[in-house]
Amino acid sequence: MSKRPKDYLLEQERFEIKAKSGGGTLSYEVWGYEAKGRTVVTRYNLAYINHSMHQGDNGRVLGFDNAHDYHHRHYMGKVQAVEFTSYEATLARFQQEWVEVIKLNRGKKS
């Protein structure tokens, strides 16, 4: 049985969203390794943070991660397990949902 390669940080990015576009910060942190010419994601933390929309959970309005040995979704302080098919599918869902959150909350005052 071959030993799994050591994980390393694949991506760590933060994007500030202008206030007129909804405000907040997008944060991406992805860990994994390369095997047989492909990238294997082992850990991820995707978050939309906006303290003016949600003060709890360190301002995390929406997030997906696989900490604590299960895949789950954070939304306005609530956490629920989610079915995991792939990191790419989770990333696409996160991107779609944070855009919807901004659309729904644009112009609202907290």
Tell me what pLDDT residue 42 has.
96
Do the domain assignments include residue 59? yes
Do the domain assignments include residue 98? yes
Tell me what pLDDT residue 65 has.
98
Residues 6+ apart with CB under 8 A from 57: 74, 76, 77
Tell me what pLDDT residue 110 has.
47
For residue 78, what are the domain limits?
A: 8-105
Do the domain assignments include residue 79? yes
Alpha helix segments (H runs only) across 1-109: 87-105
Do the domain assignments include residue 41? yes
Do the domain assignments include residue 110? no
Can you give the pLDDT of all 110 residues of the chain as single tens digits? 678 889 999 999 999 999 988 999 999 999 999 988 999 999 999 999 999 999 999 999 999 999 999 999 999 999 999 999 999 999 999 999 999 999 988 756 54
Do the domain assignments include residue 3? no
Tell me what pLDDT residue 9 has.
97
Q: Count up the domains in the chain and report the number.
A: 1
